[in-house]
Amino acid sequence: MQLHRSALEFTDRITEVAVIGPDTARAFEKFWSRSGLRFHGLPDPDHRISSLYGQQASIWRLGRMPAQVAVDRMGTSKFAYYGKSMMDIPSVQKTLQILDNINSSSVD
């Protein structure tokens, strides 16, 4: 829920957050309507999107490993982080720092 609490910080950076998950559209809709999350959720039950961005799955580690990918408006991946376990997720502050670095380098 760190992302939810930090939604305005992403908005300030003109950044859209999209969570891609293995659930069906119906399950995503139910979760999103209950949770009131301020970012987008994309169902990916066939793993097409997650595979496109290189997210790995591990039966031994209970499913898809966490992945964060920053994609610019042109569709170019500017940053990717692939977790090695379900708990291996960069902090929101680290993610915001990465976005700041990407944004400052794109101005030059």
Q: What is the CATH number of the domain that holds 89?
A: 3.40.30.10
Q: Which of 51, 53, 29 is closest to 41 using CA atoms?
A: 29
Question: Percent of the chain scored above 70 by pLDDT?
Answer: 91
The residue segments making up the domain with residue 53 are 2-107
Whether this prediction's pTM lies above 0.95 is answered by no
42 φ/ψ angles, rounded to the nearest 5 degrees: -115, 115
Residue 19 and residue 39: Cα distance in Å, rounded? 8
Residue 104 makes CB contacts below 8 A (sequence gap 6+) with none
- Which residues of the chain register pLDDT less than 50? none
Q: Which of 18, 4, 21, 1 is closest to 65 using CA atoms?
A: 21
Q: How far is CA 51 from CA 2, 13, 44, 78, 108, in A?
A: 25, 27, 10, 17, 32
User: What is the count of structural domains for the chain?
Assistant: 1
What are the structure tokens assigned to 96, written together? 């915001």
Given this model, what pLDDT does residue 4 score?
Answer: 74
Given this model, what pLDDT does residue 97 score?
Answer: 92
